Amino acid sequence: MMGTLKTEPARTRLDLLAPPVAAALGQWPADAPVDVEDVLVAPIDADLADTAAFCAAYEVGLDESANCVVIAGKREGVVRYAACVVLATTRADVNGVARRALDVRKASFAPMADAVELTGMEYGGITPIGLPEEWPILVDARVIATPHVIIGSGVRHSKIALPGPALGALPGARVVADLARPA
C-alpha cells in the first residue's frame, strides 16, 4: 500500500483499467523481471487524477509518482510518437534528450485528441503499459531507481502501483539518463 491507496492485483480489477492496459497485463511475459501480480491498481476519485491533487489527497510523495507524457515529432513528413516516463518531481526534456531519442528535428507534446485516440486511454490517465507497439517508451533512469511508483492506469478513476524497474522492462522501453530535469 502506498499512501492511503487501497491496492489490489490489477489483473483482478479490469474495471479499473483501460482496455489496452488490461490486454497488456494479460500478455505480461512470464520471464519479466517483475511478476504481473506485483502490478497493483487502486480506485481514486477521477477529479483528483492530476498529479498534484492526487498526491495531496492520497498522501503519495511526488518522488513516488510518475507521469507518462506522449510526444510527437516529424521526420521526412511522417509523425513519430513516443512516451516519456518521468517522476513528478521532474519535467521531461522534450526538445533536448527526448527529441534526439525520437530522431526528429522538433518534438512537442502530442495534441490531447491524438494522444487519446492513438492510445485508447483517457487524457490524464495515459500509462506506458499497453501503448502502441511501435512507440518507443523512454523511461528516465530515476524512475527505475525508485522502488515503487504510482502511474496512470489508462483511466482517470484509478492508478497503478508497481516496482519502478518494471517500467524499464516494458516492451519497447529504453532507460534514458537525464530524460528529465528537476521541476
Q: pLDDT 10s digit of each residue in the chain, 183 long?
A: 689 999 999 999 999 999 999 999 999 988 888 899 999 999 999 999 999 999 999 999 999 999 999 999 999 999 999 999 999 999 999 999 999 999 999 999 999 999 999 999 999 999 999 999 999 999 999 999 999 999 999 999 999 999 999 999 999 999 999 999 998
Domains of the chain, each with CATH number or no CATH: 8-182 (3.90.960.10)
pLDDT at 2: 86
Beta strands in the chain (DSSP E): 8-9, 40-43, 66-75, 78-87, 90-92, 107-109, 137-140, 149-152, 158-162, 173-176, 180-182
d(CA 66, CA 137) in angstroms, rounded, equals 13
pLDDT at 15: 97
pLDDT at 145: 97
d(CA 95, CA 106) in angstroms, rounded, equals 6
